[in-house]
């Protein structure tokens, strides 16, 4: 579903990604691991062109999403980001009600019917496994939620515009273990319908939830394989050294 061909990226004169090639299967969870500064977050953000916002970024190669290059002229970036949604490391609910947070995206895409919006809000919150916790306070400000709830709200907000792919950039690094396990369970349940790509520093999390794992180092993708294979019998010594804690 997502095929990356010879992708390179520069921030000014510094090259951050070197010739990345990978095919990401749909309806599965792909984990991106590697030490800080290895390019995994840069790579993740490239997949829905979030890096376009950074001045001085230059990209070569292609990312095919459903067969089309996302960098081709004429690609509607807003539509691309509707298809490929994102959840960030720090939950970032808008300073408005829970309801309006979820309805925000559908409204910008032209949906105004109250009945339709009610339906989307409930479906999205249920999809993100937070409906039961917030259904009685939909009009309350989203900032009153706990960190874990805010993160699930942000995932619900991404689901509201019916994406195909959800990118998650260290979505649990600011959460306690209970909230972390809720997000992990959520990710596993979401892969029935969505393709999930997750950057994580938590190796055990990658083992627990992902189907495939890619190891990045110094802007290169060193190894990409089934998660079980990466963590049981990595092919590259650098992968072995990183996952066994010899560096990083």
Q: How many residues bind other proteins (CB under 8 A)?
A: 14
The side-by-side arrangement of strands in the sheet containing 57-65 is: 14-24, 2-11, 57-65, 68-69
Burial class of 36 by CB neighbour count within 10 A (0 to 12, 13 to 18, 19+): exposed
Tell me whether residue 49 or residue 212 sits nearer to other proteins (CB atom): 212
b vs e for 192-211, b when ≥16 Cβ sit within 10 Å of the residue's Cβ?
Answer: eebbbbbbbbbbebbbbbbe
* 242 alpha-carbon distance from chain centroid: 22
Tell me whether residue 46 or residue 239 sits nearer to other proteins (CB atom): 239
Q: Which of 43, 194, 215, 231 binds other proteins (CB under 8 A)?
A: 231
Piece of 45-53, 62-70, 107-115, 230-238 that binds other proteins (CB under 8 A): 230-238
Helix (H, G, I), strand (E, B) or coil at 198: strand
232 touches other proteins (CB under 8 A): yes
Q: Which string of x and - marks every residue 174-213 that binds other proteins (by CB under 8 A)?
A: -----------------------------xx--x------
Residue 177, number of CB atoms within 10 A of its CB: 9
225 touches other proteins (CB under 8 A): no
Q: Say if CB 154 and CB 126 are below 8 A apart.
A: no
Piece of 8-16, 39-47, 106-114, 238-246 that binds other proteins (CB under 8 A): 238-246
53 touches other proteins (CB under 8 A): no
Q: Which residues bind other proteins (CB under 8 A)?
A: 203-204, 207, 231-234, 239-240, 243-247
């Amino acid at each position: 579903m997502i095929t990356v061909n010879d992708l390179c990226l520069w921030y000014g004169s510094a090259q951050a990604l070197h010739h990345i090639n990978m095919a990401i299967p749909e309806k599965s969870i792909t984990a991106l691991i590697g030490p800080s500064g290895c390019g995994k977050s840069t790579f993740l953000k490239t997949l829905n062109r979030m890096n376009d916002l950074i001045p001085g970024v230059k990209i070569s190669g292609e990312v095919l999403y459903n067969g089309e290059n996302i960098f081709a002229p004429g690609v509607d970036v807003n539509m691309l980001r509707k298809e490929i949604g994102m959840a960030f490391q720090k939950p970032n609910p808008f300073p408005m009600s829970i309801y309006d947070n979820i309805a925000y995206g559908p409204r910008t895409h032209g949906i105004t019917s109250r009945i339709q919006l009610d339906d989307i809000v409930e479906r999205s919150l249920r999809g993100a496994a937070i409906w039961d916790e917030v259904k009685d306070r939909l009009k309350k400000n989203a900032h009153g939620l706990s960190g874990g709830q805010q993160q699930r709200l942000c995932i619900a907000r991404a689901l509201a515009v019916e994406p195909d792919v959800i990118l998650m950039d260290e979505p649990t690094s600011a959460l306690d273990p209970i909230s972390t396990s809720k997000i992990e369970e959520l990710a596993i349940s979401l892969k029935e319908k969505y393709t999930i790509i997750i950057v994580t520093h938590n190796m055990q999390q990658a083992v627990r939830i992902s189907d495939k794992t890619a190891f990045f180092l110094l802007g290169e993708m060193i190894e990409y394989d089934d998660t079980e294979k990466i963590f049981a019998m990595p092919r590259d010594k650098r992968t072995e050294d990183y996952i066994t804690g010899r560096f990083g």
